[in-house]
Amino acid sequence: MKRADGVLLTVRLLLPKKPIRQAQKLKTLTQYVQRHPSGWKKRLALAELRYEMGHWEEAILDFRWVLARQPNLPQGLSVRLKLAKMLEILERPAEAMPVYQAALNRITYEPSRQYLQQAMESCQKNVDVAANDDNPHREEI
């Protein structure tokens, strides 16, 4: 790219991971998990990749599968927070709340606990709104 003063600038775009490599890794991990369905490490890697790629429904299933088999996973807090946030964004706050609570139970650092409690309060408001929306006797305005 040339600036107005004639200086030539080189600009490089840095993507965290190349899409072609991500697609290949997705294919490889999916095949591995199909051949070895009881292995949780590759399933976790697959869930993380799906999360990064925006394949959230599949990532949710995989994260839940891993947490069910490895509840004390060293990176369990990170996994729970990603899972809860995806559920909340997908407008499934009632599913997100127990995941947030499980994450909160693992946090000892008080500022982090307070931050997560605020996130949970926000999510709880969405649960309450959803519960009111399901009321068949409410009046339409």
Give residue-wise pLDDT tens across range 52-96. Answer: 999 999 999 999 999 999 999 999 999 999 999 999 999 999 999
Which residues fall within 8 angstroms of residue 79, CB to CB, at 6 or more apart? Answer: 44, 47, 63, 66, 67, 73
Q: Is the pLDDT of residue 7 over 80?
A: no
Question: Considering the domain boundaries, does residue 9 fall inside one?
Answer: no
Domain range for 41 = 19-73
Q: Is the pLDDT of residue 42 over 80?
A: yes
Q: Is the pLDDT of residue 136 over 60?
A: no
- What's the rounded Cα separation, in Å, for the pair 49 and 57? 12
How far is C-alpha 112 from the chain's CA centre? 18
Q: Verify that 62 and 83 share a domain, yes or no.
A: no
Q: Verify that 69 and 29 share a domain, yes or no.
A: yes
- What's the rounded Cα separation, in Å, for the pair 141 and 136? 14
Confidence (pTM)? 0.78
Token output for 60: 């949710």
Q: Verify that 94 and 123 share a domain, yes or no.
A: yes
